[in-house]
Amino acid sequence: MRRCRSPVRFYLPVLALVALLTLAACRPAPTAGAAEEAPTTGQAIQNKGSDTLVNLALAWAEAYQQVKPEVSIAVTGGGTGTGIAALINGTVDIANASREMSAEEFEAARAAGVEPVEIPVAIDALAVIVHPDNPVDRLTIPQLADIFTGRITNWQEVGGNDAPIILLSRETNSGTHVYFLEEVIRQGDENNKDIFAPQTLLMPSSVAITNELTRNPNAISYDGLGYVTGHEKVLAIARDENSPYVYPTIETGSDGSYPLARYLYMYTAGEPTGDVADYIEWILSPEGQAIVTELGFVPLEQE
């Protein structure tokens, strides 16, 4: 025998629906002003990588909020290698880098279906720094190579005090570390396999370098010009003993006379579009490049 549907089970959903419709009808309609005040919820541009670039990237992101307040930009450091890895695995929109991507990184990106686009955004004059009490005031790149490989171990060998040289470097995931390895220790020679001396102390940040160098009069390190403080002495650098010694400045970094000037980059997965493209275009504008100068880096030449 066919069962009849229970009247209670049938009417309860109907009554609930009627109640909901009644509440909706009684709710006051939003005013035009309230609709205009409702916050927009867009996904932030994810920007990660070079610790050399991180302060500049933070300053850009903060200033851009005044230009386009509806666009949110999340900036984190972690090193060039970390940023490039994040770009390859698709977790960031922009990777900051203080060096060019390597052939191996390009290969890994393309294997993951990513075609990196390289965009120079500023220039950095990499400063070689020592304790203010150190009497040495200039070195050649070959001397620096000998110092950081451990072939020169006493300051007396380069005109300083009779004291052991303490080596400080950024960590290996840092683009600045890689640049110094390739352009100073290996002197731009692809066949040179020299590496940092095993006694080199690896520092996690510019602040850590400054702290260690300040308390150790025999230490030597390197850092972006924008991170040099009054507690550090900057050395004049020459390409070799027959070349002029030049101090790192905005002017010498711009005109190419300082031998350790380098581009800083942003990488995107393919040609940037939408908010990312607009943001990078603003970074390259006179307004964005003015912030480069304010933070002690070297701006790009404006066309």
Claim to verify: residue 150 and residue 186 sit in the same structural domain: yes
Global confidence as pTM: 0.80
Q: Give the pLDDT of residue 302.
A: 65
Claim to verify: residue 134 and residue 231 sit in the same structural domain: yes
pLDDT beyond 80 at 41: no
Give the count of domains, the chain: 2
19 within domain boundaries? no
Q: Tens digits of per-residue pLDDT, 103-128?
A: 999 999 999 999 999 999 999 999 99
pLDDT band for position 301 (cuts 50, 70, 90): confident
282 within domain boundaries? yes
Q: Give the pLDDT of residue 16.
A: 38
CATH code of residue 267: 3.40.190.10
32 within domain boundaries? no
Q: Tens digits of per-residue pLDDT, 270-296?
A: 999 999 999 999 999 999 999 999 999
The DSSP-derived string for the chain is: -PPPPPHHHHHHHHHHHHHHHHHHHHSPPPPHHHHHHSPP-PPPEEEEE-HHHHHHHHHHHHHHHHH-TT--EEEE-S-HHHHHHHHHTT--SEEEESSPPPHHHHHHHHHTT--EEEEEEEEEEEEEEE-TT----EEEHHHHHHHHHTS--BGGGGTS-SSBPEEEEE-TT-HHHHHHIIIIISTT-TT------TTPEEESSHHHHHHHHHH-TTEEEEEEGGG--TTSEEPEEESSTTS--B---HHHHHHT-STTEEEEEEEEESS--HHHHHHHHHHTSHHHHHHHHHTT-BPPPP-
22 within domain boundaries? no
Claim to verify: residue 149 and residue 206 sit in the same structural domain: yes
Average pLDDT, the chain: 88
Claim to verify: residue 171 and residue 243 sit in the same structural domain: yes
pLDDT band for position 12 (cuts 50, 70, 90): very low
143 within domain boundaries? yes
Claim to verify: residue 142 and residue 116 sit in the same structural domain: no
Q: 105: domain range?
A: 39-123+263-294
pLDDT beyond 70 at 157: yes
300 within domain boundaries? no
Q: Give the pLDDT of residue 303.
A: 57
Q: Give the pLDDT of residue 8.
A: 33
212 within domain boundaries? yes
The mean per-residue pLDDT over the stretch 30-44 comes to: 42
